[in-house]
Structure 1
Amino acid sequence: MASSRSRDFAEEDLDETTVPLPEMMFAEGEEPVGVRVLTYQSSRALNTILEALDEDEIESLKRTSFGKLVEISEKPAFSGRFARYLLSRQLKVEKKHEAWFRFAGKPIRFSLWEFAIVTGLPCGEFPKKSKLKKKKNMKEKPYWPELFGRVEEMRVSRAVKMLRRKTVINKDLRMKLACLAIVSSVLLCTNLRMKMLKEHAELLVDMEEFFSFPWGRLAFDMLMTTLKGFALALQLVIVEAVPSLTEVVQEADSSSESESDEGDGDRLPRKTKKQTLSPAHAREVGRKAQALVTSILPVDPARSGVDCLVNWSDDHYKKGGYCD
């Protein structure tokens, strides 16, 4: 996704049709056709992990910074077709940390601010390890063997199978495996056969430290720079900005979606067909230009924890604005 050199606008100005918008990335009628995008986003990865957990374990997860992900699992699945349509509506901007899209004649911003709101993940600054802590860590034994013994490589699919078959029964350990699987195959996924990383496992020594780590900022940076990772967040932001998009949904067809679940024989069979957004309905809503559109998502304390939105060094995340 492109990003933008920016002059700032007041949020109320963004609702005015008199504000000139940047040019579109693609001219009308010249949008790319048949291009597969965001190929590593699996619509089933999160659900597969949650289905392997007990109800009490899911309730425990809801009380952490990953809690909103449980809610997300019940929403329409990621649609590759909708993503292709959305990217064809992107505006020419240069700012590194945000993208803008034109929908129904109005701009919609996708930045760390919006990402934090829809995911509920911590998005603050990355922690800086003190020299004292680094020296201490050098003397500590790696935590990976505590989780997986002598196994040097662990795929997410194998860990989920362990959870599903109750190979692991210790509740604390099950929670750690589930969280590591979510980080690896949902937030930071780069392929369909993700492996768990030892550096992420080290954070599980202290679960409070693990849940406070800015996974949101890490996932957002990956998405903006590589178009890999938690691509569903982009769809979530657009749906929050244009609620009428959910008025029409359709059954997912993995054979025609870029989020295909093929390639992992360890995954559970689908219990129910997932619902996805309808690209045709989105085009119709956009063409009529009558939909309610929120250019910059407001923070609703009742729905999004403010902890994930504080201590950001870049003030434009809070103010908003785009480049003309």
Structure 2
Amino acid sequence: MEDEIADGNAVENAADMEIDEETEALQPLSMHFPPSEYVKKIKLSTRCYIHEVLTMFDKLAPPMSKSERAWFEDHLSFQHVFHMPRDPNHRLMGMWMLLLRTARIERKKEVWFIVNGVPIRYGISEHALISGFNCKNYTLGYEKMGSMEFKTKHFKNTVVKREDVGEKLLKMKPAGERSKERLRMMVLYFLSSIFVAPIKTGDKAPQLDDLCLRAVTDLTFCRNFPWGRYSFDYMLGTIVHTMDHFNGFVTNNEKYIWPVPGFCLPLELPAFEAIPL
């Protein structure tokens, strides 16, 4: 009996240690920017088009059918976006403050910021808790799910850009409750405008994310896929790209605009815990 109790205590202690290791502040290897750069400013431009998407859905003629609206408003992840305020001019200077204070760490699946001497960890757990999105693990072979059938049917073999999807969507009319074509176009526009929006726009914009193009052929897969984790991985990749691009030095140029893609809104909130006022 004593041995069993000892073993039980060891398991509990191991579990506690694991939790401590996950939440303990890491000692940064270094900072990406020296303090001399903290006063510099650039203009940030969001690539998360929540206001544009919801406004587009309102313009659909006739208005969204009950089944279309229910598909989004009852979705585990997408429903949270519909509850957010529509801000056509979301300001991102809080994000710039965080990026300037990014710490170099060994882990590649999270980011750390040091604000007022306070370490701020942002990993998949924080993303899930703040956003409410589905951030479960990927299923094996998810990259090959779906097909390009929907893309080929509506866009032939051309490069599909986000603006092209929006134009096509406005021209589509619901063909009854059985037809899911417009709903698939809505989902594609939603994903490519909020979760994985391309960094570049206009003529320089690349084709939409390959998984999004494939996924919309299977709405059941779209409904169950962990888009929260996918959006986190995409945002994490763009932060790494930003750090590599500036390489510790910022050109103080008010005309310079740097894009911030992905669903970055939850990332802005933890900074306020380290700002007394």
TM-score higher than 0.5: yes
Aligned to 1:181: 189
Question: Mapping of 1:144-163 within 5 angstroms?
Answer: 144=150, 147-148=153-154, 150=156, 152-163=158-169
User: Does the alignment pair 1:46 with 2:56?
Assistant: no
- Report which of the two has the higher share of helix: 2
Counterpart Cα distance in 2 of 1:150 and 1:20: 50
Closer, same or farther in 2 for the Cα pair 1:145/1:201, shift >3 Å? Answer: closer
Aligned to 2:69: 58
Counterpart Cα distance in 2 of 1:85 and 1:218: 24
Native 8 Å contact 1:147 1:173 kept in 2: no
Closer, same or farther in 2 for the Cα pair 1:149/1:120, shift >3 Å? Answer: same
Look up the equivalent residue of 2:184 and give its one-letter code.
K
Closer, same or farther in 2 for the Cα pair 1:105/1:51, shift >3 Å? Answer: farther
Look up the equivalent residue of 2:225 and give its one-letter code.
F
Closer, same or farther in 2 for the Cα pair 1:94/1:163, shift >3 Å? Answer: same
Counterpart Cα distance in 2 of 1:25 and 1:154: 35
Aligned to 2:201: 192
Deviation at 1:96, TM superposition (A): 0.5
User: Does the alignment pair 1:169 with 2:184?
Assistant: no
Look up the equivalent residue of 1:238 and give its one-letter code.
E
Aligned to 1:237: 267
Aligned to 1:248: none
Question: Mapping of 1:104-143 within 5 angstroms?
Answer: 104-129=116-141, 142-143=148-149
Closer, same or farther in 2 for the Cα pair 1:141/1:31, shift >3 Å? Answer: closer
Native 8 Å contact 1:124 1:214 kept in 2: yes
Native 8 Å contact 1:98 1:112 kept in 2: yes
Counterpart Cα distance in 2 of 1:76 and 1:92: 33
Counterpart Cα distance in 1 of 2:51 and 2:87: 12
Look up the equivalent residue of 2:166 and give its one-letter code.
V
Aligned to 2:20: 10
- What secondary structure does 2:138 align onto? coil
Closer, same or farther in 2 for the Cα pair 1:117/1:49, shift >3 Å? Answer: farther
Q: Deviations over 1:209-254 (max 9, x none)?
A: 11212222222222212338974644323326638xxxxxxxxxxx
Rg larger for: 2
Aligned to 1:306: none
- What secondary structure does 1:95 align onto? coil
User: Does the alignment pair 1:85 with 2:97?
Assistant: yes
Native 8 Å contact 2:197 2:261 kept in 1: no
Counterpart Cα distance in 2 of 1:238 and 1:141: 35
Counterpart Cα distance in 2 of 1:155 and 1:78: 23
Closer, same or farther in 2 for the Cα pair 1:146/1:88, shift >3 Å? Answer: closer
Native 8 Å contact 2:48 2:263 kept in 1: no
Partner of residue 31 from structure 1, selected from 24, 35, 38: 38
Deviation at 1:177, TM superposition (A): 0.8
Counterpart Cα distance in 2 of 1:141 and 1:105: 48
Closer, same or farther in 2 for the Cα pair 1:58/1:123, shift >3 Å? Answer: same
Aligned to 2:10: none
- What secondary structure does 1:205 align onto? coil
Native 8 Å contact 2:195 2:262 kept in 1: no
Closer, same or farther in 2 for the Cα pair 1:35/1:75, shift >3 Å? Answer: closer
Native 8 Å contact 1:223 1:231 kept in 2: yes
Q: Percent sequence identity over matched residues?
A: 19
Deviation at 1:37, TM superposition (A): 5.2
Deviation at 1:38, TM superposition (A): 6.3
Closer, same or farther in 2 for the Cα pair 1:176/1:230, shift >3 Å? Answer: farther
Highest RCO, 1 vs 2 (Cα 8 Å, sep ≥ 6):
1
Consecutive unaligned residues of structure 2, counting only runs of 5 or more, are 1-16, 242-258
Deviation at 1:179, TM superposition (A): 1.0
Closer, same or farther in 2 for the Cα pair 1:168/1:147, shift >3 Å? Answer: farther
Closer, same or farther in 2 for the Cα pair 1:207/1:43, shift >3 Å? Answer: closer
Deviation at 1:148, TM superposition (A): 1.0
Q: How many residues align?
A: 229
Counterpart Cα distance in 2 of 1:71 and 1:85: 27
- The CA RMSD measured in Å over matched residues stands at 4.0
Consecutive unaligned residues of structure 1, counting only runs of 5 or more, are 1-6, 244-284, 292-324
Q: Deviations over 1:14-52 (max 9, x none)?
A: 6xxxx8964654343432624455664556443444434
Closer, same or farther in 2 for the Cα pair 1:149/1:99, shift >3 Å? Answer: closer
Q: Deviations over 1:125-155 (max 9, x none)?
A: 322249xxx8xx9xx9852267516464433
Please report the TM-score for the alignment, with normalisation by the length of structure 2.
Answer: 0.63
